[in-house]
A and B are shown apart, each in its own frame.
Chain A
Amino acid sequence: MIAEIGQYVLIAALVLAAVQAIVPLWGAARGDAGLMMVGDRTAIAQAAALLIAFAALTHGFVTSDFSLSVVFQNSHSLKPMLYKVSGVWGNHEGSMLLWVLVLALFSAAVAVYGRNLPPTLKARVLSIQAMIGFAFLAFIIFTSNPFARLSPAPLDGTGLNPLLQDPGLAFHPPLLYLGYVGFSMAFSFAIAALIEGRVDAAWGRWVRPWTLAAWTFLTGGIALGSWWAYYELGWGGWWFWDPVENASFMPWLFGTALLHSSIVVEKRDALKSWTILLAILTFSMSLLGTFLVRSGVLTSVHAFATDPERGVFILAILAIAIGGALTLFAVRAPGMKGGGLFAPASREGALIANNMLLTLAAATVLLGTLYPLILEALSGGETRVSVGPPFFNATFGPIMVPLVLLMAIGPLMAWKRGNLRTASRKIIPAAIAALLAIGVTFLAVPDGPGLAPFAMGLAAWLAAGTIAEWGGRIKLFSSPPSVSWRRLSGQPRSASGMSLAHLGLAIMIVGITGSSAWRTELVTTLSPGETVEGAGYAVTLESVTEGRGPNYSFERATLRIEEDGELVTTMHTERRFFPIANQTTTEAGIRTTLLSDLYGVIGERGRTPETADAWTVRFFVNPLVPWIWLGALVMVFGGFLSLSDRRHRVGAPRRAANTAPPANPPTQPLPAPAE
Chain B
Amino acid sequence: MRRLVVILPVAIFAALLGVMGALLTDGERNNDPSRLPSPLVGKPAPAISLPAVADNIPGGFSTEDLKGQVTIVNVFASWCIPCLAEHPLITQLAADGARVYGINHRDKSADAVTWLRRHGNPYKAIGFDADARASLEWGVTGVPETFIIDANGTIAYKHAGPITPEVLKQKILPKLREIEGG
List residues of A whose CB falls within 8 A of some B CB. Answer: 273, 277, 280-281, 284, 291, 295-299, 306, 308, 311-312, 315, 318-319, 322-323, 326-327, 329-330, 333-334, 370, 373-374, 376-378, 381-384
Query: 3 closest Cβ contacts across the A-B interface?
Result: A326-B10, A377-B19, A377-B22
**Residue of A273, A329, A376 touching B23 (CB-CB under 8 A):** A376
Q: B24 to nearest A CB, angstroms?
A: 5
Contact in complex: A315, B24 (CB < 8 Å): yes
B36 within 8 A of A: yes
The answer to whether B6 touches A323, judged by C-beta atoms less than 8 angstroms apart, is no
16 A-B pairs (CB sep. < 8 Å):
A281-B9, A291-B20, A295-B24, A297-B20, A308-B24, A315-B21, A315-B24, A318-B17, A319-B17, A330-B3, A333-B6, A370-B16, A381-B29, A381-B37, A382-B37, A384-B37
Does residue B14 face the partner (Cβ distance < 8 Å to A)?
yes
Query: Whose C-beta in chain A lies nearest to the C-beta of B4?
Result: A330
User: In the complex, A329 Cα to B2 Cα: how many Å?
Assistant: 12
Enumerate B26-61 residues with CB–CB distance to A below 8 Å: 26, 28-30, 33-37
Question: Which of the residues B2, B24, B36, B37 comes within 8 Å of A297, measured between beta carbons?
Answer: B24
A contact face: mostly helix, strand, loop, or mixed: helix
State the Cβ distance, A560 to closest chain B Cβ, in Å. Answer: 36
A323 vs B12: C-alpha distance in the bound complex, in angstroms?
Answer: 10
- Supposing A296-B33, A323-B10, A330-B7 touch, asked if A308 and B16 sit within 8 A by C-beta, the answer is no
Please indicate the chain B residues that have their CB under 8 angstroms from the CB of A384 in the complex: 36-37
Q: Which residues of B contact A382 (CB under 8 A)?
A: 37
* A284, B10: Cα distance in complex, Å: 12
Residues of B within 8 A of A280 (CB): 9
Smallest CB gap from A311: residue in B: B24
B10 touches A334 (CB 8 A): no
Nearest CB in chain B: distance from A284 CB, A: 8
Q: Determine if B24 and A329 form an interchain contact, defined as CB atoms under 8 angstroms apart.
A: no
- Looking at the assembled complex, report how far the CB atom of A168 sits from the nearest CB atom of chain B, in whole angstroms: 28
Tell me, rounded to whole Å, the shortest Cβ–Cβ distance linking A247 to chain B: 13
Most interface-central of A306, A315, A370, A377 (chain B CB within 10 A) = A377
Residues of A within 8 A of B24 (CB): 295-297, 308, 311-312, 315
B6 and A334 contact, CB distance less than 8 A: yes
Q: How far is the CA of A663 from the CA of B22 in the complex (A)?
A: 64
* CB atoms of B19 and A373 under 8 A apart: yes
Q: What CA separation (Å) do A315 and B25 show in the bound complex?
A: 12
Chain A residues with Cβ under 8 A from B36's Cβ? 384
A284 to B23, CA, bound (A): 20
From B3, B10, B25, name the one whose CB has the most chain A CB atoms within 10 angstroms: B10
Among candidates B9, B14, B17, B26, residue contacting A329 with C-beta atoms closer than 8 Å: B9
Can you add 7 more A-B contacts, CB < 8 Å, to A284-B13, A373-B23?
Answer: A312-B21, A323-B14, A330-B10, A373-B20, A377-B23, A378-B19, A381-B29
B residues less than 8 Å from A312 (CB atoms): 21, 24-25
Chain A residues, CB < 8 A from B22: 377
| A374 to B37 Cα, complex, angstroms | 16
Task: Quote the shortest CB–CB distance from A237 to chain B (angstroms).
Answer: 22
Judge whether A330 and B23 touch: CB under 8 Å. no
B13 to chain A, nearest CB (A): 6
Q: How far is the CB of B130 from chain A (nearest CB, A)?
A: 14
Distance of A378 Cα from B26 Cα, bound (Å)? 12
Contacts of B17 on A, CB cut-off 8 Å?
315, 318-319, 323
**A330 adjacent to B9 (CB under 8 Å):** yes
In the complex, which residues of chain A have a beta carbon less than 8 angstroms from the beta carbon of B26?
381
B80 to chain A, nearest CB (A): 16
Task: Determine which residue in B13, B26, B29 has the highest number of CB atoms from chain A within 10 A of its CB, and name it.
Answer: B13
B172 → chain A closest CB, angstroms: 18
In the complex, are the beta carbons of A326 and B13 less than 8 A apart?
yes
Are B23 and A383 in contact, with the CB atoms below 8 A?
A: no
**In the complex, chain A residues whose CB is within 8 Å of the CB of B30:** 296, 306, 308
Please, which residue of chain A has its CB at the minimum distance from the CB of B3?
A334
B129-148 interface (Cβ within 8 A of A):
none
Residues of B within 8 A of A333 (CB): 6
- Measured between beta carbons, the chain B residues less than 8 angstroms from A298 are 33
Which single residue of chain B is at the shortest CB-CB distance from A330?
A: B6
Nearest A residue to B9, CB-CB: A326
Chain A, residue nearest B36 (CB) = A384
Residue ID in chain A nearest B16 by CB atoms: A370
- A287 to B: closest C-beta gap in Å: 11
Contacts of A377 in B (CB 8 A): 18-20, 22-23
**Assembled-state Cα–Cα distance A664/B37 (Å):** 73
Which residues of A have CB within 8 Å of B20? 291, 295, 297, 315, 373, 377
Residues in B whose Cβ lies below 8 Å from that of A306: 30, 33
Instruction: For B30, give the chain A residue with the smallest CB separation.
Output: A308
* Alpha-carbon separation in the docked complex, A334 to B2 (Å): 7
Q: Which residues of B contact A291 (CB under 8 A)?
A: 20
Q: Which residue of A lies closest to B34 (CB)?
A: A299
List, in ascending order, chain A residues with CB within 8 A of B13's CB. Answer: 284, 322-323, 326
- Which residues of chain B are within 8 angstroms of A326 by Cβ–Cβ distance? 9-10, 13
Complexed CA–CA distance, A280 and B9 (Å): 10
Q: Which residues of B contact A311 (CB under 8 A)?
A: 24
Please name the residue on chain A nearest to B37 by beta carbon: A382
